[in-house]
Amino acid sequence: VKRRHLGAEDTSPAARAELEPGVGRRADAVIATCSDEAAELVRAGVDAARITVIPCGVDIEHFTPRSDEPDNADADRPMHVMVVGRLVPRKGVDLAIEAVGILARRGHRDVELVVVGGSGDAASGADDP
């Protein structure tokens, strides 16, 4: 699924794409992030009964705003933004940097951005999740 949507932007090693269907067929359980990915896995020969779809995202019932106050109500409290992933364009580190700028313009003066990730060197495959 990823290769179809990303095309040339996909930095995963070709060997990974070749090996994944076999790994999926031998796995006791497989997690897909959407129904399209689950369907792709079934087409690759993975038993649908062993696939569970768990969407990416945030549980908005668990993670809710601290209050109904305007955006700048917590402007005096430190904010921490973290991005975890390989350092490749499609992981969106640029969006996190932009978001920190937006927070600063909205009055949040004590904002820390932490970026955690590997080199993104697709040739080695060492950093490819």
pLDDT for 37: 87
- Is residue 129 predicted with pLDDT exceeding 50? no
Per-residue pLDDT band for 97 (boundaries 50, 70, 90) equals very high
Q: Is the pLDDT of residue 41 over 60?
A: yes
The three state secondary structure string of the chain is CHHHHHHHHCCCCHHHHHHHHHHHHHCCCEEECCHHHHHHHHHCCCCHHHEEECCCCCCCCCCCCCCCCCHHHHCCCCEEEEEECCCCHHHCHHHHHHHHHHHHHCCCCCEEEEEECCCCCCCCCCCCC
Query: Which band of pLDDT confidence, cut at 50, 70 and 90, is reported for residue 53?
Result: very high
Mean pLDDT of the chain: 79
Percent of residues, the chain, with pLDDT higher than 70: 74
Where exactly are the structural domains of the chain? 2-53, 71-116
The answer to whether the predicted template modeling score (pTM) of the entire model surpasses 0.85 is no
